[in-house]
Structure 1
Amino acid sequence: MASDPTMTCAGAVVGTLEAHGLNRIYCVPGIQNDWFFNALHDAQGRVAAIHTRHEQGAAYMALGAALATGRVQAFSVVPGPGLLNTAAALATAYSTNAPVLCLTGQIPSRAIGRGIGLLHEIPDQLGILERLTKQAGRISDPARAAAQLAEAIAAIGKGRPRPVGLEIPPDILGARGDFAAVAPLSTAPEPEPDAGLIAEAATLIAQAERPMIIVGGGAQAAGATVLHLAERLQAPVLAYRMGRGVLDDRHPLAITLPVGHRLWKSCDLVLAIGSRAQIPFSNWGSDADLKLVRIEADPTALDAVRTPDLALIGRVETVLPRLAEAIDRSAPKRASRAEEISALKQAVAREAADMLPQVAFLNAIREAIGEDGILVDELTQCGYVARFAYPVHKPRTFISSGYQGTLGWGYATGLGVQDARRDAAVVSISGDGGFMFNVQELATAIRHDIPLIAVVFNDGAYGNVRRMQRELYDNRVIATDLANPDFVALGRSFGIEAERAASPEALRRAVAAAAERRRPALIEVPVGDLPSPWHFLDMPRVRGG
């Protein structure tokens, strides 16, 4: 790209973001980043600044947009307390393998590491950033800034996608010179998977009589091939959090956790696709009769849960089609398992609906937002039930915090999901406890006209913790009761369309109306104590010692 001898380093940085298709950045401005925001001002109409009311909100919005699209999304914050406020979002991006770019400011270059006590100075900020990301660096040469940024963006997608961080001191951002934006770097094609290992894996899978496929977030772009393999092998496809939507839940072979548990004892092989398969192997047990084949982009992660009998290293999109071709050549035709699995699914669905009123609320949301609608779950009673009882039909339409289990992430993350997917109705579900973590972002929804529908289930407590205190600790309830605002009045005070829905049918009508209006909405659902869903989630060991 053409250089400009009067361009600031910040201008080259913003131009590089634009060249990489990053047409918005989630942000909170501040003095160390003034040059960056000055460059954003010049780029208005090409790169939008979506500013939030808290740095945590900005980082969660970038995370939500990344999870909803599978593409790199960026946020910008000031150093020190600004960066630290984003730590929970970065940890969640790491746990969900989300392609997030963190651009943080720094104190002036001359003062880094000297302990002078400048505004926002903290010890070893880069070290902190390194521990929350896949890769982190500092831009120290303005002439290298655009190239270093392009390298960082490229690094996000190599191997297992995870967040990357860059810190840029203000003197570097403000430097002028013969700078230019840098276009996306050309990347070497991913190596072809080992043909011998592919053949060996196909043979092992073909020999299995009752295989199971487990899909995680790494399989989100491979739904068609997963479907083909499932039907070819008559293998049920288990998805829990990150893998929901890879296979439409209406398919006879699509299963969630409770059905998977009932099938686990008789399963003789697991094909784990973009998943650690941590819960089944850690909680339900394993033995020599259960074989494991894994497709995994990160070779360092293979032995974390159980060493696979055979591992295929590479991106799912590259490896899985080759494996499917080999299986088509070697696997025998199998009798349909649709009737067996359908009976188990119906039994679990009846049991859940009879025991858990949460199911009716989730079904109401599902009906109201249509097939393309997106649900952002939370650490709340309906969120836990959603992991196995909410019907998911398409990839990237069930957004979860994965193993990090980040309380309070839901509303701000939902804003990012909705901002990135303006074509879809998006609902975030929260409890009253988690919702208040980022309630200030109601202002962001209004300011940027983001039509997210927030559903707040209000039980006046950290309900899951309170129930555990009652049931497991002899009713020794402490630090779980909450004082809440009038959520409807609060929403309306921000200019949000807000109402109260006291039943599943009322919730369905309210969500449907909000989805039709395409305006920011808040719906409070008063609930009392809800029954525990954990016997559907935390299930006992069924095999092995």
Structure 2
Amino acid sequence: MKNIPTPATRMTGGDAIVESLKVHGVDTVFALPGAQIYGLTDALARNSDSIRTFGARHEQTSAYMAFGYARSSGKPGVFTVVPGPGILNASAAMLTAHGCNAPVLALTGDVMSGFKDRGRGQLHELPRQLEILQSIGKWAAHIEQPADAPWQVAQAFQKMQSGRPGVVSLQASWDYFTQAAAVRLQQPLALPEPPPVDSDAVDRAAKLLSAASAPMIFVGSGALEASVEVRQLAEVLGAPVVSFRGGRGVVSDDHRLGFTVAAGARLWPRTDVVVVIGSRFELLDIRWRHRPAGLKLIRIDIDPAEVRRIPAEVNLLADAAEGASALTQAVLRLGSPAHRDVEIADAKATAEQEIQCVQPQLDYLRVIREVLPRDGFFVEEISQVGFTSIFGFPIYQPRTLVTSGHQGTLGFGFPTALGVKAAHPDKAVVSICGDGGFMFAAQELATAVQYKLNLVTIVFNNNAFGNVYRDQQESFAGRLLGSELVNPDFVRFAESFGVQALRVDTPAALKPVLERAFAADRPILIEVTIPRGSDSSPWKFLHPTFPTR
């Protein structure tokens, strides 16, 4: 993008950042004000006609809301909190966002410039804070002067959206935000062009695929913007497309080639060529831990570091859409492999029957899927229902499932769902939580009420950290420690915040309640009671056992 010079204007450091956010199209910020960033939050208050600012009751929630906003929309999420304990509180959400390749900008303060790096113990001082921020995400920088802010904000947006998206951070000293100076705004910097598609690598991959008898495609977050191209490749190959978490919806689960991990596992032992697009492919050596004899691996990824992490026959460094499209055309030139429609359909149908043993989670998820609109958003949580949803909740469109990815961050779900709702006020959004995870951020019911975020939250209450409880029972002779929970009355708790709340104990009872909840114009909480220890284990579908060779 051509840089258009702008006249210098006298403004504070806080204004310099806010005006730079506006240049980059930001219209939503999540914030928890505090002394070190007063100048920034005041600038946001004076620009409330162009930037919505959502407050929160915890710094972690501000960051999770930015993550939910970014993950569900694909647009940058921005949050601001105080330094030291504030940014450390937010760090779990930052780590989650970075692990999920979500473009998130963290804005924070630092001690007064005259005290920087002197170790005098000024309020919220965190030694080597910038180094910590650099270790969490892709990039971090310290803004010294208001005149520097536009350029560094532009750099932050360029870096967080280039190649593999991720988290970036900017910090500035306490006094910076109210200091005034002449500032010239900076237009957005152009994003680097994706690497050119290597035609030789494409040809090698196409030859492997044309000769394949049982190809399979795996997709992750890097394929979210390549839905059409991935589907075309799958249809040419007659190959199922498997997604674990991040790539759910790239190919719809109601497409004949859209596969969950439960269905994919049935075909995995016979698979001979795999195409992995925009995915860490943790199924290979972390989840499934079985490599079929003679398996050939093709990887398409825009991150050069990623393609080196697992040895492959062909590494194609490319944008997911461009790489998949080039591979489709090359296969068409050489000739597609023989399709195996009956085998694929049988595997999908059999898996659907097999997973029905995971109860009552599957029955509750079926009700939610029946009521949630096709374009509605489903935000999972680290819980028995959340684990089951990985293979038991159909997803039809990219980005409509929001997860914590490989971080598996307990307690992320409810606050993240608030950010999803802020990004999509006219869409249905449901947050499914376990009782333990919900209590990490239960106070944010106040945020939902204050900002009229009509989120539907379902709390599955089994009075336990269910997975820990099962593991302690089965693997540690029933020696229980910290896994049994004593909870509040969730209905009365929610009502004390002004949230309408209801309680059900069967899937049949949930359906009419959920229908009314999605039609409401206010936040709703539904408690689902489940006896402790009564929910079935979903793990045999997440860590299946394969026959040994």
Structure 1 position 541, deviation (Å): 4.4
Name 2:537's counterpart in structure 1. Answer: 532
Q: 1:494 aligns with which of 492, 497, 503?
A: 497
Name 1:352's counterpart in structure 2. Answer: 355
Q: Which runs of 4+ in 1 moved over 6 A?
A: none
- Aligned 8 A contact 1:211 1:269 in 2: yes
Structure 1 position 2, deviation (Å): 3.8
Structure 1 position 67, deviation (Å): 0.6
Name 2:470's counterpart in structure 1. Answer: 467
Q: 2:331 aligns with which of 313, 327, 330?
A: 327
- Aligned 8 A contact 1:106 1:169 in 2: yes
Q: What pairs up with 1:36-55 in 2 under 5 angstroms? A: 36-55=40-59
Structure 1 position 4, deviation (Å): 4.8
User: How far apart, in 2, do the equivalents of 1:101 and 1:459 lie?
Assistant: 36
User: How far apart, in 2, do the equivalents of 1:86 and 1:187 lie?
Assistant: 27
Q: What pairs up with 1:166-185 in 2 under 5 angstroms? A: 166-185=170-189
Q: 2:311 aligns with which of 307, 312, 320?
A: 307
User: How far apart, in 2, do the equivalents of 1:70 and 1:534 lie?
Assistant: 31
Higher mean C-alpha deviation, range 346-355 or range 477-486 = 346-355
- Aligned 8 A contact 1:233 1:331 in 2: no
- Aligned 8 A contact 1:7 1:177 in 2: yes
Structure 1 position 261, deviation (Å): 1.5
Name 2:418's counterpart in structure 1. Answer: 415
Structure 1 position 355, deviation (Å): 4.0
Q: 1:113 aligns with which of 103, 107, 117?
A: 117
Structure 1 position 3, deviation (Å): 3.6
Q: What pairs up with 1:90-169 in 2 under 5 angstroms? A: 90-169=94-173
Q: SS of the residue aligned with 1:183?
A: coil
Query: Deviations along 1:194-216, whole A, 9 cap, x unmatched?
Result: 22222222222222111000010
Q: 1:507 aligns with which of 506, 510, 531?
A: 510
Name 2:283's counterpart in structure 1. Answer: 279
Q: 1:379 aligns with which of 377, 382, 386?
A: 382
Name 1:481's counterpart in structure 2. Answer: 484
User: How far apart, in 2, do the equivalents of 1:21 and 1:115 lie?
Assistant: 38
Q: SS of the residue aligned with 1:302?
A: helix
Q: 2:216 aligns with which of 203, 207, 212?
A: 212
Q: SS of the residue aligned with 1:522?
A: strand
Query: Deviations along 1:443-471, whole A, 9 cap, x unmatched?
Result: 11011111111100001111110011111
Name 1:239's counterpart in structure 2. Answer: 243
Name 1:297's counterpart in structure 2. Answer: 302
State TM-score, norm by structure 1: 0.97
Q: What pairs up with 1:247-266 in 2 under 5 angstroms? A: 247-266=251-270
Query: Deviations along 1:389-410, whole A, 9 cap, x unmatched?
Result: 1011111111111110000000
User: How far apart, in 1, do the equivalents of 2:151 and 2:202 lie?
Assistant: 37
Name 2:82's counterpart in structure 1. Answer: 78
Q: SS of the residue aligned with 1:295?
A: strand
Q: Count residues in correspondence.
A: 542
* Unmatched tracts of structure 1, length 5 or more: none
What amino acid does structure 1 have at the position aligned with 2:20? Answer: T
- Aligned 8 A contact 2:456 2:518 in 1: yes
Percent identity over the alignment is 40
State TM-score, norm by structure 2: 0.96
Q: 1:434 aligns with which of 426, 434, 437?
A: 437
User: How far apart, in 2, do the equivalents of 1:406 and 1:187 lie?
Assistant: 31
User: How far apart, in 1, do the equivalents of 2:331 and 2:414 lie?
Assistant: 43
- Aligned 8 A contact 2:432 2:457 in 1: yes
Query: Deviations along 1:419-439, whole A, 9 cap, x unmatched?
Result: 101221111111100000000
Aligned pair 1:388/2:391, yes or no? yes
What amino acid does structure 1 have at the position aligned with 2:252? Answer: D
- Aligned 8 A contact 2:84 2:129 in 1: yes
What amino acid does structure 2 have at the position aligned with 1:53? Answer: R
Give the alignment's Cα RMSD to 1 decimal. 1.5
